[in-house]
């Protein structure tokens, strides 16, 4: 009698090299390819796979990404959890939404980040609310594979007028994915939409604006600038404001709304500066406003040669360092713009300076600004540290989610006093 051989499918799992489980035991959500000994089975792009130690102990569940150095994005450390079901992800979304409820409750702000990827336990998913529109980014293999599921869940939980996709970030290339943008559900967008932030009105281009349309992470820092401008105005001196890398002028709007007398916006985009003018008009703000559409590095030098001076300067540049190999060059760029800005400040003036490069640590950034101050010969004092808003929380298990850092610096007055 002929004997038949029964073939059993090998279970899908990721097995680590010996001694590589420490980061996972600390619940860090990234598993790099270098820590993997082998992959059993043939998991599909974005599949949910269990990760095991070399000794056979379960460690975590993750979404598999064969093209990325981050081979799995981890989202659960419970071996018995009913993972990857609609209800599992609905609960994760509800938890994230509840954490932002108080921010939106007062009615003075109707735009914020609702889901911040790994920090909210949903790696690769970004969800931003802009009034009655919601913008979503699917930035990893795991989220791309679940695009329809999350579209349905977000439509159900948020009931927006428009649900729009902006999966167009650079990280998609590292995941082996293509960009994708367009309407997911609801009414099509018809140009910029209006939002409220701390009672101020802004027009936002959701279809082609930077990030998902607006720098939501800077909300508390814009308020800090407003407080600085207001304090100066209340003391009898309406400050002059230089807004560098202005984009659509949000820092300038805050400054003018709280007592600044003059404003200079610098940005390479004429379209962004034009929208900045609309933002000023939407808030009924008038005054001496100058827009300069040119490269900020050159403009700062030109302003210095002209002998221009300002009471408040904002430096909010784009990301200069995309990885560790960019850090040295980026450091030179940050030092250059900070040096020029410190030269341009009036005695007693205040500098708001930022870096959104995750590869530049807070400590390194402070050293860069220190070096710039030293080269100017101006006595400079840090009077505040800045970071991203509470709707961009930093998971203690994932320090990489803290990318935005900033300093408020004050230079000495004409008597050398701070």
| Continuous H helices in 48-165 | 86-105, 141-145, 147-158
End-to-end CA distance of the chain: give it in Å, rounded.
Answer: 97
Q: Is 177 helix (H, G, I), strand (E, B) or coil?
A: coil
Q: 142 in helix, strand or coil?
A: helix
Give the C-alpha separation, 85 to 148, whole Å.
Answer: 13
> Backbone phi, then psi, for 274, in 5-degree steps?
-65, -40
Query: Quick one: CA torsion of 339, 345, 349, 355, rounded to 10 degrees?
Result: -40
Work out whether the CA dihedral 329, 332, 337, 340 comes out positive or negative.
negative
Q: Which of 112, 356, 390, 409 is catalytic?
A: 356
Catalytic residue check, 356? yes
Residue 90: how many CB atoms within 10 A of its CB? 16
Six-digit token pair at 346? 């009036």
| Secondary structure tally for the chain: helices H, strands E | 11, 20
Closest CA to 38 of 63, 16, 9, 67: 16
Active site residues: 356
């Amino acid at each position: 009698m002929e004997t038949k051989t029964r073939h059993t499918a090998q279970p899908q799992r990721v097995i680590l090299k010996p001694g590589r489980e420490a980061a996972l035991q600390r619940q860090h959500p990234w598993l790099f390819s270098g820590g993997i000994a082998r992959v059993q089975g043939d998991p599909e792009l974005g599949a949910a796979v269990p990760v095991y130690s070399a000794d056979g102990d379960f460690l975590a569940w993750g979404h598999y990404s064969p093209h990325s150095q981050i081979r799995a994005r981890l989202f659960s450390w419970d071996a018995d959890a009913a993972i990857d079901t609609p209800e599992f992800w609905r609960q994760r979304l509800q938890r994230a939404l509840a954490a932002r409820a108080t921010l939106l409750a007062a009615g003075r702000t109707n735009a914020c980040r609702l889901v911040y990827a790994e920090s909210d336990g949903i790696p690769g998913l970004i969800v931003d609310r802009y009034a009655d529109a919601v913008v979503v980014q699917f930035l990893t293999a795991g989220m791309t594979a679940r695009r329809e599921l999350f579209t349905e869940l977000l439509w159900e939980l948020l009931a927006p007028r428009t649900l729009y996709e902006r999966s167009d970030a650079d990280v998609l290339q590292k995941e082996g994915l293509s960009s994708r943008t367009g309407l997911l559900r609801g009414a099509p967008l018809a140009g910029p939409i209006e939002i409220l932030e701390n009672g101020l009105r802004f027009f936002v281009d959701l279809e082609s604006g930077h990030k998902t349309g607006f720098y939501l992470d800077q909300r508390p820092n814009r308020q800090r600038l407003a407080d600085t401008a207001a304090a100066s105005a209340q003391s009898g001196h309406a400050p002059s404001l230089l807004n560098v890398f202005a984009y659509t002028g949000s820092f300038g709007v805050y400054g003018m709304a709280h007592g600044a007398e003059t404003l200079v916006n610098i940005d390479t985009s004429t379209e962004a500066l034009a929208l900045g003018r609309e933002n000023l008009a939407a808030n009924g703000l008038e005054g001496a406003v100058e827009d300069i559409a040119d490269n900020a590095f050159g403009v700062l030098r030109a302003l210095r040669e002209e002998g221009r001076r300002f009471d408040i300067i904002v430096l909010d540049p784009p990301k200069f360092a995309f990885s560790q190999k960019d850090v040295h060059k980026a450091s030179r760029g940050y030092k250059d713009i900070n040096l020029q800005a410190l030269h341009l400040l009036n005695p007693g003036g205040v500098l708001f300076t930022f870096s959104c490069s995750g590869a530049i640590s807070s400590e390194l950034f402070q050293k860069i600004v220190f070096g710039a101050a030293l080269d100017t010969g101006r006595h400079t004092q840090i009077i505040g540290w800045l970071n991203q808003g509470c709707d961009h929380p930093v998971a203690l298990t994932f320090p990489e989610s803290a990318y935005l850092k900033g300093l408020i610096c004050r230079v000495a007055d004409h008597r050398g006093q701070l």
